[in-house]
Amino acid sequence: MNIESFISERRPVWQHLDTILKRAEARGDALSRDELHELVELYRRTCSDLNRVQSNTANPEILGYLNQLTGRAYRFVYRAAHETPVWATFKHLISTEIPATFRRERLAVAAAAAAMLLGVLFGAAAVLIDPANGRRLIPPMFFTERPRDRVDRIEKGSERIDNVEKALFFSASLYTHNIKVSMLAFTLGALTIIGTILLLFYNGMILGAIATMYILDDVPLFFFAWVGPHGALELPAIIFGAAAGLVAGRAFLMPGNLSRAASLRRVLPSVWRMLIGTALTLVCAGIIEGSFSQFSYRVFPYPMKIAVAVLLFTGLMGYLFLRGLGDEA
Amino acid sequence: MRELTITTPEHVNIKLEPAGSGSRFLAVLIDSFITTAIAAVIYSVAVNIVPRLVAAAIFVTASFILTWGWHVYFEVKRHGRTIGKRALSLRVVDARGLPVTLYQSIVRNVARIVDFLPAFYGVGALVNMLRSDRKRLGDILADTLVIRESQPLAYRGELGAERHFNPLRTPRALRLIRHRVSLEEREFLLALCLRAQKMSPAARYDLMEEVAKTYRQKLDIEEEAISGENLVRDLTAVLFSRMR
């Protein structure tokens, strides 16, 4: 085969295919019916050209070019027809898929929750045995003053968040930070499993230690009113995100008789739904934490804040455990 | 670097060439420059309309959405190419050669947070360099691949200019060439002739003599009078002439 004349003969076909692909790529998606037919035909011709070139030359330039061209066309011709309108997908995600995934992956969720709970118990026990342990467990940046002093300062002094602007900014910083933390928890879990378990245990331990210190210092109501409203959403969300990491980690590290890639592909639908669920819940939690949680008892009395916390928690649990329960069978 | 081969239903093998960490790093650099610039513009507009702290809240949210949403949007809606990747001829594809799905894109971009540790692309670059398919952690978890696409064809048909008298045009030499010179060698010889002008004279002489020595043995050429370069050019001319 004379490669030079082959190239000059077939070049128009390739260039035509390239033009169509470029146009389609620039426009996002839609190809007209005629263009699609043309694309498929040109794709087939280029395929057979690639085949011939592969068996007749080793020239990297021509091989590279045809590989690239055929690969691009291949992705158009054989793309999986999974695309649905974004809004409908989103509605379906919220109304059925997230709770269903939560229930399907309940083992991973339970494991993540258990890791955090163990941390809480460990932290609480450590402080109960010797209150000085609190200082050893809690990073210094969280431990600036005694709980009772802090309560006095916050409840007697001026409000920390006294206008909408401050609340908005504080909320935005909180939820972006929290989402990043749960992304980290997810990825650590997906790669090592144990990383997420340790992260959950550590955070639970700090929470347990701080809670116990407030209780020992005789200001428990303040603590629960302060952490409760956002914690009711935030803690489950982080557990949920970490559970997504455990699901992916199990698929990745223990693929059984599947290949790692195939095993990961199988859990992908669960994992991304859990991640979206986590992010959305954390946005809500961040907004509450940036505003409602910060007000003193003069604005919102403790019972009211605790009632809101209980309401949010039962609402979230009701949604996760009961929503669409009948539809599944 | 390992090429990945995908067999299409038409039984054609398409080769995907994984992209190295250097170009990928550069692409991310371009993308983060653009997203930062957009967020900065949003802030400077917002700060003139709403109170400063609200503008800051908008900035925090906007840069968060831009940082994480930018890649997902372009990977899913723009055929695997962000602006930075496009500038460097890179593309994100499913490791089976299909387009990336929304789910894969979300997972590979969430994992970016670990790939970016401890600073701008630490873990990711390390994993990338250790693997022959050049995947970073996010690519492993989502089973995706960043490939390098070849530039449009700039095929030069020009050959090593043939001398008027070519000592290799004897029936015996032609037969030996036909039997003993492979396709790969043919391409190698062409590339050598085309690049010879750019080499330093000493390197060019040494390389040509070295190559010619191999072919003297291979093709049983006893004539010592021809220089290495002339022999290589004659051989290339024979290989590419239309009278084969």
Residue spans per domain, chain A: 3-77, 86-328
CA of B61 to nearest chain A CA: how many angstroms apart? 6
Please list every residue in chain B whose beta carbon sits closer than 8 Å to the beta carbon of residue A291.
none
CA of B191 to nearest chain A CA: how many angstroms apart? 9
The mean predicted confidence, pLDDT, of chain B is 81
pLDDT over 70, % of chain B: 91
Q: Where is pLDDT greater, at B1 or B113?
A: B113
Q: Helical H runs in A193-300? A: 194-216, 220-253, 260-290
Residue spans per domain, chain B: 4-148, 171-240
Please list every residue in chain B whose beta carbon sits closer than 8 Å to the beta carbon of residue A261.
95, 143
Question: What is the reported pTM?
Answer: 0.72
A172 touches chain B (CB under 8 A): yes
Token pair of A155 as six digits: 């409840």
Suggest the residue from A68, A178, A287 to mutate for an interface test with chain B (most B CBs closer than 10 A).
Answer: A68
Please list every residue in chain B whose beta carbon sits closer than 8 Å to the beta carbon of residue A279.
none
Q: Which residues contact A316 (CB under 8 A, 6 or more apart)?
A: A232, A233, A236, A281
Suggest the residue from B52, B85, B91, B153 to mutate for an interface test with chain A (most A CBs closer than 10 A).
Answer: B153
Please list every residue in chain B whose beta carbon sits closer than 8 Å to the beta carbon of residue A179.
64
Please list every residue in chain A whose beta carbon sits closer than 8 Å to the beta carbon of residue B60.
169, 172-173, 176
A169 touches chain B (CB under 8 A): yes
Q: Do A61 and B17 touch (CB under 8 A)?
A: no
Q: Do B57 and A165 touch (CB under 8 A)?
A: yes
pLDDT at B243: 46
**Span A87-103, pLDDT tens digits:** 777 788 888 888 888 88
CA of A205 to nearest chain B CA: how many angstroms apart? 23
- CA–CA–CA angle B202, B205, B211 (5° rounding): 135
pLDDT at B155: 47
A-B interface: how many C-beta pairs under 8 angstroms?
A: 165
Residue of B nearest to A259 (CA): B143
pLDDT at B34: 93
**Span B162-216, pLDDT tens digits:** 556 777 778 888 888 888 888 778 878 887 887 787 788 898 999 998 998 888 8
Query: Would you place residue B30 in the very low, low, confident or very high pLDDT band (cuts 50, 70, 90)?
Result: very high
Q: For this complex, say whether ipTM is above 0.95.
A: no
Secondary structure, 3-state, chain B: CCCEEEECCCCCEEEECECCHHHHHHHHHHHHHHHHHHHHHHHHHHHHHCCHHHHHHHHHHHHHHHHHHHHHHHHHHCCCCCHHHHHCCEEEEECCCCCCCHHHHHHHHHCHHHHCCCCCCCHHHHHHHHCCCCCCHHHHHHCEEEEECCCCCCCCCCCCCCCCCCCCCCHHHHHHHHHHCCHHHHHHHHHHHHHHHHCCHHHHHHHHHHHHHHHHHHCCCCCCCCCHHHHHHHHHHHHHCCCC
Q: Do A67 and B106 touch (CB under 8 A)?
A: no
Q: CA A238, CA A179: separation in Å to the nearest integer?
A: 9
pLDDT at A118: 94
pLDDT at A135: 74
pLDDT at B192: 84
Suggest the residue from A75, A173, A175 to mutate for an interface test with chain B (most B CBs closer than 10 A).
Answer: A75
Q: Do A4 and B157 touch (CB under 8 A)?
A: yes
CA of B97 to nearest chain A CA: how many angstroms apart? 7
CA of A327 to nearest chain B CA: how many angstroms apart? 24
CA of B224 to nearest chain A CA: how many angstroms apart? 31
Q: Do A268 and B104 touch (CB under 8 A)?
A: yes
Please list every residue in chain A whose beta carbon sits closer than 8 Å to the beta carbon of residue B16.
67, 71
A47 touches chain B (CB under 8 A): yes
CA of B106 to nearest chain A CA: how many angstroms apart? 7
pLDDT at B197: 75
Q: Which residues of chain A have pLDDT under 50?
A: 329
